[in-house]
């Protein structure tokens, strides 16, 4: 029987996009001239790491960036992964996509790869809002992409954002109601965060618009209500699934399982023989260096000792509505979580669901999850 300690995922970073969105601080570039060289380096890194880490893979996540822009490189990527790692037959293989690049070529290449889950960056179905946040697609393109994807893959999800400049409740209602009419299995909903270095951050600094945090929080509550009405169950602070079709990759990261990140800026988390000290490794974020070193650029490594591991485990697991699996925590760290935290748990009891097997934040208190988590640590 599979146990928690068998969970092992691969994250593959594909850092190219059609253009840079106004709110985005992800590691991505609109100049695609280096793509061929990047994939050569990425495949070299995959071969190298496959020799170092002999683990069975039960989920693969192609993230970005915009992986759907790189369909031409999927065959070489698939060969590199399947030559280097043993991938379980029923592995979840997810790919992120954006509407403008959901082409025949992408769908065929993703199917040939074995992709069984696609996550589409929709963000909004309002054309003025899409333009305002610098997305290259419009509503029509997003709807066409959703129709094509839901016909081609067993599991399709969409990402949306709330709290966008000049957004109204009606925009959120319309976007979510329309999305709920598609046979989607998954929805990720994020509140806009103004990240330093982005175009929207600079605009907000100049006073072009102001972000009202209470309004964003209220709109997030509205989104949760609409998603619940549409059959989506919240399973993580920002993630919702129908029929329990959660994202296995993301869930295993929140459950503090091991994963190997491959590609530019990708991070990995690997425990030592299933325990501690664990290592978190981060690949270089310098594209030229990554390519020149053909995937051999030395990553930075952080050692995570037992006590730090306990805090990270709690911080990540408490993001899930399932919360902390008490037995897994006890097996991983030794000791007994319920007695270790007895005093804090009784103080925080009104905000938590507590049983012999789990500790979870009640979803109605997710909006103050950061302070609940820091009080518990
Ligand atoms: S498509 Fe995604 S990764 Fe690319 S620029 Fe926009 S938000 Fe960033």
Distance CA 377, CA 371 (A): 10
Q: What's the number of CA atoms in the CB half-sphere (13 Å) around residue 134?
A: 13
**138 within 8 A of 130, measured Cβ to Cβ:** yes
328 and 246 assigned to the same domain = no
- Average of per-residue pLDDT across 80-90: 97
Four-point Cα dihedral 172, 231, 95, 165, nearest 10: 10
**Residue of minimum CA distance from atom 7 in ligand 1:** 24
Neighbours of 69 (CB within 10 A): 21
In-domain check, residue 155: yes
Ligand 1 centroid – CA 182 distance (Å): 23
CA distances from residue 20 to 66, 199, 282, 285 in whole angstroms, order as listed: 11, 9, 23, 17
User: For 65-78, what is the mean pLDDT?
Assistant: 98
- For residue 194, give the DSSP letter: -
- Domain count for the chain, please give it: 2
284 part of a folded domain: no
Measure Cα distances from 82 to 3, 50, 60 in Å.
Answer: 23, 10, 11
pLDDT, the chain, mean: 95
pLDDT tens string 214-269: 999 999 999 999 999 999 999 999 999 999 999 999 999 999 999 999 999 999 99
The minimum-distance atom of ligand 1 relative to the CA of 17 is 4
Centre of ligand 1 from the C-alpha of residue 66, in Å: 7
pLDDT tens digits along 258-308? 999 999 999 999 999 888 999 999 999 999 999 999 878 889 999 999 999
The per-residue pLDDT for 131 is 98
**Domain stop point among 231, 251, 271:** 251
Q: Is residue 45 part of a domain?
A: yes
Which of the listed residues 251, 279, 302 is the one where a domain comes to its end? 251
pLDDT at position 1, please? Answer: 61
Q: Give, using CA atoms, the residue closest to atom 6 of ligand 1.
A: 21
d(CA 131, CA 244): 33
Q: Which domain holds residue 323?
A: 318-377
| Cβ atoms 267, 63 nearer than 8 A | no
The 3-state secondary structure of 299-312 reads: CEEEEECHHHHHHH
Same domain flag for 42 and 124: yes
CB of 360 closer than 6 A to ligand 1? no
Residue 254 alpha carbon to ligand 1 centre in Å: 23
Q: Is 198 in the pocket of ligand 1 (CB under 6 A)?
A: no
Q: How many CB atoms lie within 10 A of CB 58?
A: 21
Pocket of ligand 1 contains residue 101 by CB under 6 Å: no
Same domain, residue pair 57 and 175: yes
pLDDT band at 2 (very low <50, low <70, confident <90, very high): low
170, burial (CB in 10 Å: exposed 0-12, middle 13-18, buried 19+): exposed
For residue 266, being part of any structural domain is answered with: no
Distance from the alpha carbon of residue 195 to the mean position of ligand 1, in angstroms: 13
Residue 28 Cα to ligand 1 middle (Å): 7
Residue-level pLDDT at 374: 94
- The pLDDT score that the predictor gives to residue 295 is 79
Tell me the mean pLDDT in the region 350-370.
94
- Integer Cα distance of 14 and 264 in angstroms: 8
Intra-chain end-to-end CA distance of the chain, in Å: 32
Whether 89 and 225 share a structural domain: yes
Assess whether the C-beta atom of 163 lies below 6 angstroms from ligand 1: no
Which helix or strand (DSSP H or E) is residue 258 part of? strand 258-262
Contact yes or no for 112/74 (Cβ under 8 A): yes
Same-domain check for residues 197 and 66:
yes
Alpha carbon distance 118, 96 (integer Å): 6
pLDDT of residue 6: 80
CA of 305 to the centre of ligand 1 (A): 34
Q: Residue 295 falls within a domain, yes or no?
A: no
Distance 324 CA to ligand 1 centre (A): 31
Same domain flag for 334 and 218 = no
Report yes or no on 117 lying in a domain. Answer: yes
Tell whether 58 and 206 lie within a shared domain: yes
Given a cut of 80, whether residue 186 has pLDDT beyond it is: yes
Nearest protein Cα to ligand 1, atom 5: 20
pLDDT > 90 fraction of the chain, expressed in percent and rounded: 92
CB 270 within 8 A of CB 279: yes
318 backbone dihedrals φ, ψ, rounded to 5°: -70, -5
Distances (CA, A) of 261 to 18, 98, 114: 23, 21, 19
- Domain annotation covers residue 300: no
Q: Which of 251, 282, 301 is the last residue of a domain?
A: 251
Arithmetic mean of pLDDT, 44-60: 94
> The domain that contains 100 carries what CATH number?
3.80.30.20
Same domain, 200 and 56: yes
């Amino acid at each position: 029987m599979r146990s928690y300690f068998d969970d092992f995922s691969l994250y593959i970073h594909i850092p190219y996009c059609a253009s840079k969105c106004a709110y985005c601080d992800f590691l991505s570039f609109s100049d695609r001239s280096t793509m061929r060289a990047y994939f050569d380096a990425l495949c070299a890194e995959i071969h190298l790491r496959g020799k170092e880490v002999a683990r069975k893979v039960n989920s693969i996540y192609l993230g970005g960036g915009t992986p759907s822009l790189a369909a031409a490189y999927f065959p070489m990527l698939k060969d590199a992964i399947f030559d280097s790692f043993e991938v379980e037959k029923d592995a979840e293989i997810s790919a992120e996509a954006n509407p403008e690049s959901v082409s025949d070529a992408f769908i065929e290449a993703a199917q040939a790869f074995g992709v069984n889950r696609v996550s589409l960056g929709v963000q909004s179905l309002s054309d003025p809002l899409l333009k305002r946040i610098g997305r290259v697609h419009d509503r029509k393109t997003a709807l066409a992409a959703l129709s094509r994807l839901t016909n081609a893959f067993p599991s399709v999800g969409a990402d949306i954002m709330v709290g966008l400049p000049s957004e109204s409740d009606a925009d959120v209602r319309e976007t979510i109601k329309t999305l709920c009419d598609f046979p989607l299995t998954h929805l990720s909903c994020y509140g806009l965060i103004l990240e330093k270095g982005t175009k929207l951050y600079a605009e907000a600094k100049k006073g072009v618009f102001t972000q009202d945090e209470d309004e964003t929080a209220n709109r997030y509550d509205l989104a949760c209500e609409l998603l619940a009405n549409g059959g989506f169950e919240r399973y993580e602070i920002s993630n919702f699934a129908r029929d329990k079709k959660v994202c296995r990759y993301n869930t295993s990261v929140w459950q503090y399982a091991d994963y190997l990140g491959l590609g530019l800026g990708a991070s990995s988390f690997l425990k030592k023989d299933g325990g501690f000290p664990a290592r978190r490794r981060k690949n270089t974020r310098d594209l030229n260096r990554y390519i020149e070193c053909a995937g051999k650029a030395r990553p930075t490594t952080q050692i995570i000792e037992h006590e730090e591991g306990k805090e990270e485990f709690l911080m990540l697991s408490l993001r899930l509505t399932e919360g902390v699996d008490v037995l897994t925590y006890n097996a991983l760290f030794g000791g007994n979580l319920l007695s270790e935290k007895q005093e804090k748990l009784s103080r925080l009891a009104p905000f938590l669901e507590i049983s012999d097997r789990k500790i979870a934040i009640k979803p109605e208190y997710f909006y103050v999850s950061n302070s609940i988590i820091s009080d518990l640590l």
